[in-house]
Structure 1
Amino acid sequence: MKFFSPLLLAISIITIVSCHSTRKINTALSKKDTTQMIVVKDIHNDSLDFIKQTLHALDSNRIDFNTFSAKVKVDVWDKDGKEPDLTVFIRMKKDSVIWLLVNATVVSFEAFRVMITPDSVKVLNRKDKVVELRSVNYLQELTHLPVKFSTMQDLLIGNPIFIDSNVVSYKKNQDNITMLIVGALFKNLLTINSNLNAVANSKMDDVDPTRNRTCNISYGNYEKWDSKNFPKFREISVVEKSKIDVQMDFKQYSFNETLNYPFSIPKNYKVQ
């Protein structure tokens, strides 16, 4: 399996089971896709209530859970085209553990097993018989962002990420609401499906223009679970000096069942 290391947490689920060299390709988003080209209304005092209500409705759709498990088909494209298919099995206990088993679908073998806790990251590389033992700061090293355990948890469960209340402009139409949120790290152009009170798209541009870093996350195929909307499909594109595209299709998922998180290190594995 080829390795890659994208520079944004949106696909850190993939980077954890991949290597640490970034593929360089000459791809960038066109200017027409930047947040500056979005037509928005200037915010006046009478708009503040609308913004507050919209963010509250979005927050009310956040998925809360005790445990979560899923089977996910993951497709990845890089400069060489489509990578081999992956099937990722996810098990999570809220605020406690994220467990991943990654199968290489074509040859049907377990490639990696990953255990993430609030203070550690462990990766079993089955092919090379290597185990990596890291602190949770490993996520930040991979993504170059202050990634927390809770951020990974939200990403996998489908909750929106990198959202704060600093909305500088917005636009409303029949089916959705677009808000431009400027935070410490990103300008987040957030498109909310107003019928579902759920995120349809999040386009994050780095506030540091020298980074020229962009991540686009689309959420779709929403399904009701316990009055909340769960996105069964995610599409992620990350562009800096490299570009990578990831699709995550949740084939099965369940909440609040009793789970275990097996992770034993064989004696013949080399520790790194």
Structure 2
Amino acid sequence: MRKIGIMLLMLLFVASCKPKVKLPEGAPAYLKTKDLIEKVKAESLPFETLVLEGKGRYQSGSSKQSFRFEMRIAKDSLIWVDLADPFLGLKVARGLISQEEVAYYNRLERNYQKGSSSEIAQKIGFRFDFQPLMSVLSASFLDWNQNWYQDYQPGVYQLVNYPLNADQIPPSPEYPLMTQSFSAKSYRPSSFRFQRPQEGQNLVIRLDSYQNFGEILFPAQMHFEYLEKSEIIIDLEITDLKRNESLSYPFRIPGNYEQL
């Protein structure tokens, strides 16, 4: 009788340790959401500054443009972008993005824009927020003071900030519906999605082809698809990466440029 009692207790204990959710076929090993977030944060790239260099391509409808780029990123503070002609190397445009302001100027057309991210988004037809952009460009976990829930999917770990059942809390109206997916092996981000259904906006970002830049594991390709009234596609191929170097962020709008 004692043995039977012990066996029953052990079976009950084992049963209680199993996941309370039914995982879909091909889903990675079960992790509690809290544990998953801790692992993802632990594998996020630690940095104070980043420099990304490479080449890119922009497409919207029949309009296509290739470019070379350099990005200088100060963690949680500043994103500096410089664009150049892909063949001649001539400087074409420069931008500066912070929590408070977005500014850029076009050397070819001799004009500039400056204002809050929402003001610039209305003018250029591309909505973005600083913190998600920082997380995407640094291939890091996006916290953004959200409640994150695990959406079990084949092949990847996935977190969403919107309710999957009745006892979960929806995000505040000012935030988009967000999804971020992570490799089941490295716990590094593989994709992000930002949706504002009422405004018909959808932004999907893929981080592909992770490789070692020196000792730093980082995606060699970033793919952006933004859909509202029309579709905008941006592809970035990263060829060089530097971390924690002392950087400058030169930015001066010439006085004879026209404000748009």
Q: Which runs of 5+ in 2 are unaligned?
A: 1-20, 24-28, 163-170
Question: Mean Cα displacement is larger for which, 227-236 or 58-67?
Answer: 227-236
Structure 1 counterpart of 2:33, one-letter code: I
RMSD, aligned α-carbons: 3.3
Contact 2:49 2:245 in 1 (8 A): yes
* Secondary structure of 2:47's aligned partner: coil
- 1:221 matches 2:202: no
The answer to whether residue 46 in structure 2 is matched with residue 56 in structure 1 is: no
Could you say which residue in structure 1 is the equivalent of 2:178? 188
1:19 maps to none
1:36-67 deviations in Å (ceiling 9; x for gaps)? xxxx948xxxx996222112211222223222
1:128 counterpart residue number: 109
What is the TM-score when the length of structure 1 is the normalising length? 0.68
Q: Is 1:202 the equivalent of 2:192?
A: yes
Q: Higher Cα Rg: structure 1 or 2? A: 2
Q: Within 2, Cα distance between the matches of 1:191 and 1:133?
A: 33
For residues 229 and 72 of structure 1, the distance between their equivalents in structure 2, rounded to whole angstroms, comes to 16
Which runs of 5 or more residues in structure 1 are unaligned? 1-39
Higher relative contact order (CA 8 A, sep 6+): 1
Partner secondary structure for residue 56 of structure 1: helix
Question: Structure 2 vs 1, CA of residues 65 and 108 (structure 1 numbering), >3 Å: closer, same or farther?
Answer: same
TM-score (norm 2): 0.71
Partner of residue 158, structure 1:
139
- Number of aligned positions between the proteins: 224
Q: Which of structure 1's runs of 4+ aligned residues deviate more than 6 A?
A: 225-228
* Percent of matched pairs sharing the same residue: 17
Whole-angstrom CA distance in 2 between matches of 1:271 and 1:205? 31
One of 226, 243, 258 as aligned partner of 1:255: 243
Deviation at 1:220, TM superposition (A): 1.4
Q: Which residue of 2 aligns with 1:68?
A: 50
> How has the CA–CA distance of structure 1 residues 122 and 77 changed in structure 2, closer, same or farther, with 3 Å as cutoff?
closer
The 1:121–1:54 alpha-carbon spacing in structure 2 relative to 1, beyond 3 Å, is same
Query: Against the structure 1 CA distance between its residues 107 and 41, is the aligned structure 2 distance closer, same or farther, given a 3 Å change threshold?
Result: farther
- Offset, 1:145: 5.6
